[in-house]
Chains A and B, each alone.
Chain A
Amino acid sequence: GEDVEQSLFLSVREGDSSVINCTYTDSSSTYLYWYKQEPGAGLQLLTYIFSNMDMKQDQRLTVLLNKKDKHLSLRIADTQTGDSAIYFCAEGAGNMLTFGGGTRLMVKP
């Protein structure tokens, strides 16, 4: 079946850039998403990218998609302590989303 993988943990210093990576296996994915989950909270959609795009920028967030390698990344510029959370990538095909296991981002002051 479809598989989405992410590294478990990332630690950065405040003000640095964070890059969270994700790989997926389903070549029929039409949309790819990044969600943020803060402690004790639900999932908040951060951004998404259509599968025929290479890049999408939204303020401090930059999404890069390499469809050939099935690799998705989320870059957060000028990372703040409030960005500390778990970040999930998800790929969508048909009417289903498949989520990765989440990357826990820790931002040190």
Chain B
Amino acid sequence: DTAVSQTPKYLVTQMGNDKSIKCEQNLGHDTMYWYKQDSKKFLKIMFSYNNKELIINETVPNRFSPKSPDKAHLNLHINSLELGDSAVYFCASSRFPRTEETQYFGPGTRLLVL
């Protein structure tokens, strides 16, 4: 069984569209994260949720809206997609929102905005 799964794996869309990426973890973790990896492989945290509550919100445009319907899911909705949103988006989870807790990463969603 996959511990942290993301759908879709690939997403190609036009500028201006709205799209969602889904993430699910079956590890029983309380904390989930979204990271963005750009074309130069830099990995930056975007959001973190603990028990369905937002605890980290880095400088991310309002067009990005995470939603956590329950502890096991953290979805990312993106409005009015722009060319610069093209990247690989990784979901991760950890038992608790503490640094010493290992974060487990999903396989990534490769988003290409045309």
- What is A's interface to B at a CB cutoff of 8 Å? 30-31, 35, 37, 41-45, 48, 50, 86, 88, 92-99, 101-102
Closest Cβ of chain B: how far from A4's Cβ, in Å?
A: 10
- Check B45–A96 contact: CB distance below 8 A: yes
Known contacts A42-B90, A101-B40; 17 additional CB pairs below 8 A are A30-B99, A31-B99, A35-B105, A42-B4, A42-B105, A43-B90, A45-B103, A48-B102, A88-B43, A95-B48, A95-B55, A95-B98, A96-B45, A97-B103, A99-B43, A99-B44, A102-B41
Task: Please give me the residue from chain B that is nearest to A50 by CB atom.
Answer: B100
Question: In the complex, which of the residues A37, A45, A96 contacts B99, with contact meaning CB atoms closer than 8 Å?
Answer: A96
Closest Cβ of chain B: how far from A86's Cβ, in Å?
A: 6
Chain A residues with Cβ below 8 Å from B90 are 42-43
**B 58-93 binary contact with A (CB < 8 Å = 1; else 0):** 000000000000000000000000000000001010
- What is B's interface to A at a CB cutoff of 8 Å? 4, 31, 40-45, 48, 55-56, 90, 92, 97-100, 102-108
Closest Cβ of chain A: how far from B95's Cβ, in Å?
A: 12
Task: Please give me the residue from chain B that is nearest to A104 by CB atom.
Answer: B41
Closest Cβ of chain B: how far from A73's Cβ, in Å?
A: 19
Identify 15 residue pairs between A and B in the complex whose beta-carbon atoms are under 8 Å apart, listed by A's number.
A37-B41, A41-B108, A42-B90, A42-B106, A44-B105, A45-B103, A86-B41, A92-B99, A93-B99, A95-B56, A95-B98, A95-B99, A96-B56, A99-B42, A101-B41
Chain B residues with Cβ below 8 Å from A94 are 99
Closest Cβ of chain B: how far from A89's Cβ, in Å?
A: 11
Closest Cβ of chain A: how far from B44's Cβ, in Å?
A: 7
Closest Cβ of chain B: how far from A46's Cβ, in Å?
A: 11
Chain A residues with Cβ below 8 Å from B4 are 42
